[in-house]
Amino acid sequence: MDPIRRVAMISLHTSPLDQPGTGDAGGMNVYVIELSRRLAARGIEVDVFTRATSSAADPVVPAFDGVTVRHVHAGPFEGLTKGELPGQLCAFAREVLRAEAAQPEGHYDVVHSHYWLSGQVGALARDRWGVPLVHSMHTMAKVKNEALALGDTPEPLARIIGEEQVVEAADMLVANTDLEAKQLINLYDAEPARVEVVHPGVDLDVFRPHDKAVVRRELGLPAEAAVLMFAGRIQPLKAPDVLLRAVAELLDRDPALRSRLVVPIVGGPSGTGLEHPESLAQLASDLRLEDVVRFVPPVAQDELARWCSAATLVAVPSYNESFGLVAVEAQATGTPVVAAAVGGLTTAVRDGHSGLLVDGHDPGAWAEALRRVVVDDALRVRLEAGALQQARQFSWDRTAERVLAVYGQAQVDLKEAV
């Protein structure tokens, strides 16, 4: 295969420079920037194309050595929802092609697109530049629509058709887990030979254990508190309401626990959660949990690591996750995870070893899982040790090596097709 010198990374709907935990910024943002950094460390130049959402954003931002974020003007800077972005695909694609046209021929060796909107642009660039397209879905409409959260909105047919087109166009598809690979094959008719499983990673230099007593003091948490934490975007898909309902059930069963219970909700409204940004706070009030719930705005990765270290457990009650980076990040700090047994969370969390997996979203079942970790000291200590072991299986360097191999395979397949 030819050496990979430059990669065009396309992340249309959200910038890797955005703060994860609010708006459309989440695990995909972390994935794009961490993968780009590791590729750059191997001498590969990476240009990340993303839609500009502010007139104050510089058109070209050097993010790290070898990684450049290019803010593409396509549509108004503010006010567009993700559902309105398909109308800006042509404008975005035109600017991406124009940026490449200003370079010598053969500037990029591969296009790697993230999420279906980016895949539509990536398919056009692939045909224009004559280089392979590698695509990462991150989430899939058909999967999401099969397990909709209460109050969530089904993904539209236009997205489903768009995803099917991207799957057909891509030379290689990167799946986060074996389950996602099966979903691509069974739901989207992807050719098995064009699907490769590559697990995301975790930055073990950032997400590492901190002294629990110290970080609790610094964060204003009682030293002996039972800290049940949620971290992520506040939207029906992520199901923070399930945690609150489970906490209410837990306190009904054991009222004495209230005096030492703290439930931090770290994140901001996103997706359909933007329609009613106050709804989770209202639910906490309706459930009479105002004294135990703390709403914390989205925080940077190093600060998130401190919150995870301070927690007794991190709850991930999502209705679907292609992987669930926050679960691995929490485990890397030595904190057990109680997660829904859905999607990639069944890979990220090892049930009974690094955390507990809960079937379904029944508050009673969740309350019991939370109670076990809180009251059973021997179980909690065992899960804390297992959490560290589980997190060590995931490495961004290993992810980058595997993705590079996928790029090479995509090159070979494209040449053979020609």
Q: Is residue 99 part of a domain?
A: yes
Looking at the fold, whether 277 and 411 belong to one and the same domain comes out as no
Q: Is residue 58 part of a domain?
A: yes
Looking at the fold, whether 237 and 362 belong to one and the same domain comes out as yes
Domains: count for the chain: 2
64 and 34 in contact (C-beta within 8 Å)?
no
Assigned token pair, 278: 């106050």
Among 287, 207, 278, CA closest to 243: 287
3-state SS, residue 275? helix
Q: Which residues of the chain have pLDDT under 70?
A: 1, 20-25, 270-277, 418
Q: Is residue 88 part of a domain?
A: yes
Looking at the fold, whether 380 and 401 belong to one and the same domain comes out as no
Known binding-site positions for Mg(2+): 311, 335
The residue count of the chain comes to 418
3-state SS, residue 239? coil
Burial of 136 (0-12, 13-18, 19+ CB in 10 A): buried
Which pLDDT belongs to residue 274?
Answer: 43
**Plot region of 356 (φ>0 → left; ψ -120 to 50 → alpha; else → beta):** beta
Question: What are the CA-CA distances from residue 125 to residues 48, 136, 170 (Å)?
Answer: 14, 16, 11
Known binding-site positions for 1D-myo-inositol 3-phosphate: 13, 24-29, 82, 115, 139, 159
Looking at the fold, whether 303 and 403 belong to one and the same domain comes out as no
Q: Which domain holds residue 243?
A: 212-391
Known binding-site positions: 13, 19-20, 24-29, 82, 115, 139, 159, 233, 238, 299, 311, 321, 329, 335
Known binding-site positions for UDP-N-acetyl-alpha-D-glucosamine: 19-20, 27, 233, 238, 299, 321, 329
Q: Is residue 1 part of a domain?
A: no
**Plot region of 271 (φ>0 → left; ψ -120 to 50 → alpha; else → beta):** left
Q: Is residue 174 part of a domain?
A: yes
Looking at the fold, whether 149 and 175 belong to one and the same domain comes out as yes
Looking at the fold, whether 271 and 304 belong to one and the same domain comes out as yes
**Plot region of 21 (φ>0 → left; ψ -120 to 50 → alpha; else → beta):** left
Which uninterrupted H or E stretch holds 225?
none
Looking at the fold, whether 168 and 300 belong to one and the same domain comes out as no
Looking at the fold, whether 299 and 197 belong to one and the same domain comes out as no
Looking at the fold, whether 246 and 117 belong to one and the same domain comes out as no
Looking at the fold, whether 334 and 367 belong to one and the same domain comes out as yes
The residues that bridge with 358 in the sheet, in sequence order, are 340
**Which CATH number covers residue 76?**
3.40.50.2000
Distance from CA of residue 308 to its chain's centroid?
A: 16
Which pLDDT belongs to residue 272?
Answer: 47
Q: Is residue 207 part of a domain?
A: no
Q: Is residue 339 part of a domain?
A: yes
Q: Is residue 324 part of a domain?
A: yes
Looking at the fold, whether 286 and 249 belong to one and the same domain comes out as yes
DSSP 223: T
Looking at the fold, whether 197 and 246 belong to one and the same domain comes out as no
